[in-house]
Copies of this chain bind each other. A is one copy, B any other.
């Protein structure tokens, strides 16, 4: 799963893309839940490619679980695996490893987590990150709990085991009132499918209807589409839904808080065909391109996306600027990042495995490249090299997000702050370091406008969590502060 030395190019592996750490999915009221969950997880694969797991419950077979490394399509398509997952109720999870973790993820870190309680079993799948997990874990171990994983999410199941409530849904409430941070949780008992979103609603979670009798919970709407489910509504920040039979019961177990949905879901994480806040993610990204063209125009011959995530913004930039849109960089659809590098060294071999410049098109042209973000900047340099090798006359980078200057503690894997290009350089310094003719990022206000806030960002009460750009953290990262992380000084 890892690049071998000599083929170093992979923006995601290199830490030059932020990585969503998880996707969650659950269904009830269908004849064979596991197949639905497999399809749902496949549609959410972009949220976590390293591993996935499914738990189902069947009255005769009890709870069953399968957790595997690798793509959903390679594991949860096998008849032998799926035959072990009977039942009408099931949940699943896809995950990335956490870059900071020591060593590789073990299979025991793969969710859903399962616990057998005196009133029956329960399984949970968690998207997000708990900011007080280290403190909780220490306390639980001292009281005799045995942890199986290095995952912060395991705290939830131990807190549930310790709860004195007689009912699993109540135990989930008990447990989640103890945790801090970002969480969209999908859980199941023998009869209930349960969904919860943290009070700020940092991570997404939506409800869907399957025919007349089934329900689905999903990180994104694109996973409802694949199973032919109808999108009903978003689970609201701070809301818990308990689904049993045809009944969906909604409660608010937490103290009220301001909604702070992750703005990077709009920029990069969510799939362009998902719907967020009533609008196509694709359309929001195209609008970012429109705003960017207004904020940062430049004379050029072609607007080219860095495939594939820069495409919608590049279309928007082209439409606003009138400069023709073109596929100047072609992505190899078979990918491949582990070839053995020939001893006759090939310049930029890593990037060539995934991308190729349309040389006959680019030669002599002034090219605007539109990318979604700049994290460490290493990818941008390699792409610039490739474009210049092909004979471009000028290269202008336009970035569909503001400079990424702060780490995320709410479920996104970010390099440490010192590795973030924007934490150490000005925009001009970055332009020179990357080596392009111009480099412009969209402003935070522009991004808010594109995301539907016509007035831009309200600094008193921003509508999104934008800590990675602004350094303003809506939830105090208590474990990290204990480790010595320094917040931005108040202005």
CB-based contact B161/A352 at 8 Å: no
> Which of A110-118, A373-381, A404-412, A429-437 has 4 or more CB atoms under 8 Å from chain B?
A110-118
Other-chain contact of A141, B118, B282, B283, B339 (Cβ < 8 Å): B118
In the complex the two chains form, what is the Cα distance from A30 to B342 in whole Å? 9
Copies of this polypeptide in the complex:
4
Q: Is A414 an interface residue (CB 8 A)?
A: no
Of the residues B118, B280, B341, contact of A35 by C-beta under 8 Å: B341
Beta-carbon contact of A356 and B226 below 8 Å:
yes
A360-B283 in contact (CB<8A): yes
Cβ of B161 and Cβ of A35 under 8 Å apart? no
Question: What range describes how many residues of A lie at the interface?
Answer: 35 or more
Given contacts A77-B336, A358-B282, contact A343 B272 (CB under 8 A): no
Asked whether any CB of chain B lies closer than 8 Å to the CB of A73, the reply is yes
Q: Which of B72, B344, B346 contacts A334 (CB 8 A)?
A: B72
SS of A interface (majority): mixed
A312 to B: closest C-beta gap in Å: 7
Select from chain B the residue with minimum beta-carbon distance to A38: B339
In the complex, what distance in Å separates the CA atom of A146 from the CA atom of B141?
12
CB distance from A213 to the nearest CB of B (A): 9
A359 and B319 CA atoms in complex are apart in Å by: 21
Interchain CA distance A356-B322 in the complex, whole Å: 29
Assembled-state Cα–Cα distance A353/B41 (Å):
11
Q: Mark A321-344, 1 if CB is under 8 A from B, else 0.
A: 000111100101111101111111
Once the chains bind, are A145 and B146 in contact (CB under 8 Å)? yes
**Distance A304 CA – B280 CA, assembled complex (angstroms):** 15
User: Binary interface profile of A, 74-88, with partner B (CB < 8 Å = 1, else 0)?
Assistant: 001101001000000
Question: Of B35, B144, B327, B352, which is within 8 A of A312 by CB?
Answer: B327
